[in-house]
């Protein structure tokens, strides 16, 4: 079994089952050593909680990376999630250049937008920096909104296959070798993932649940990275991650008190079995 050393760069939301509190356990469960570089620490995530604390760790990031360089620590993969500023993106680019082992794989989840809008605090300048990071990555995992901002494509919440094909081609033209476009559905009762590589697109389709949950993008991306680094090809990894995320949502929807994330931990045995 491949045993990879992965670095995940994103924030820590201490409560809320997202970002690093999702990435670390899922990547570990898929059988990989996982190191972390926190970009910020929040008491909770920002989706529905109020009065949360926030500590920006941007100034700590280069010193941590410098120590790793001094110790000759290298990573077989780097996986980024939410990055809060253009400075953080610049630090990640440097990590790609200096802390990756030979043959390393870089994954970027450009977590910055959804439902046609940028997240609070982001602007066009940030989008351009994120575009440059996606161009440097081996695999990117945007949703449709993020893909539209990255490529300058007008956002549509109702679309056809021609629209998605054009979006995929535009994403590949910025430089990313493989595109995993999430949240793509052509019928009201289905959704799925488009996998685009070597000029060809494949759609992994699965049922669409009526209710979404916070943090499922992080669950999906982490499961995909873990599966891909276990030797699954992009399409296989996309399907495994999709089915795992779907089961996490199903495991949570009947609990009205658990509105802030998904109960992904009890479903980890499914993910582990799927990788065997």
Q: What is the set of domains in the chain, with CATH numbers?
A: 5-270 (3.40.1190.20)
pLDDT of 225-237, one tens digit each? 999 999 999 999 9
Helix (H, G, I), strand (E, B) or coil at 175: coil
How far, in Å, CA of 186 to CA of 242, rounded? 16
How far, in Å, CA of 57 to CA of 11, rounded? 9
Is residue 1 over pLDDT 80? no
**In angstroms, what CA-CA distances link 189 with 94, 159, 219, 255?**
42, 15, 21, 22
pTM: 0.97
- Return the percentage of the chain with pLDDT > 90, whole number: 93
pLDDT recorded at residue 28 = 98
Mean pLDDT over the full length of the chain: 96
**C-alpha neighbours within 13 Å on the C-beta side of residue 195:** 16
Q: Which residues pair with 203 in a beta bridge?
A: 194
**C-alpha neighbours within 13 Å on the C-beta side of residue 125:** 5
Write the CB contacts of 259 (distance below 8 Å, at least 6 apart in sequence): 48, 214
Helix (H, G, I), strand (E, B) or coil at 274: helix
Max CA-CA distance within the chain? 53
Is residue 210 over pLDDT 90? no
- Return the percentage of the chain with pLDDT > 70, whole number: 100
Q: How confident is the model at residue 211 (pLDDT cuts 50, 70, 90)?
A: confident
pLDDT recorded at residue 66 = 98
Helix (H, G, I), strand (E, B) or coil at 75: strand
pLDDT recorded at residue 209 = 85
């Amino acid at each position: 079994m491949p045993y990879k050393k992965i670095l995940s760069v994103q924030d820590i939301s201490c409560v809320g089952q997202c970002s690093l509190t999702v990435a670390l356990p899922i990547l570990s469960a898929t059988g990989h050593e996982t190191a972390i570089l926190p970009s910020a620490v929040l008491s909770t995530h920002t989706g529905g909680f109020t009065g949360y604390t926030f500590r920006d760790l941007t100034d700590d990031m280069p010193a941590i990376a410098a120590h790793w360089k001094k110790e000759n620590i290298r990573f077989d993969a780097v996986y980024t999630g939410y990055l809060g500023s253009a400075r953080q993106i610049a630090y990640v680019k440097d990590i790609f250049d200096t802390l990756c082992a030979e043959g390393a794989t870089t994954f970027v989840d450009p977590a910055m937008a959804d439902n046609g809008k940028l997240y609070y605090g982001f602007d066009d300048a940030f989008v351009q920096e994120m575009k440059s990071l996606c161009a440097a990555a081996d695999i990117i995992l945007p949703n449709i909104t993020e893909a539209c901002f990255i490529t300058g494509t007008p956002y549509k919440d109702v679309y056809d296959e021609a629209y998605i094909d054009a979006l995929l081609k535009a994403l590949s033209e910025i430089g990313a070798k493989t595109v995993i476009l999430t949240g793509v559905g052509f019928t009201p009762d289905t959704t799925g993932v488009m996998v685009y590589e070597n000029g060809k697109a494949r759609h992994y389709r699965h049922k669409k649940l009526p209710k979404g949950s916070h943090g499922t993008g992080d669950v999906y991306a982490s499961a995909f990275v873990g599966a891909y680094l276990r030797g699954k090809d992009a399409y296989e990894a996309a399907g495994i991650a999709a089915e795992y995320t779907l089961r996490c949502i199903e495991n949570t929807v009947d609990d009205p008190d658990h509105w802030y994330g998904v109960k992904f931990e009890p479903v980890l045995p499914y993910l582990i079995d799927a990788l065997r």
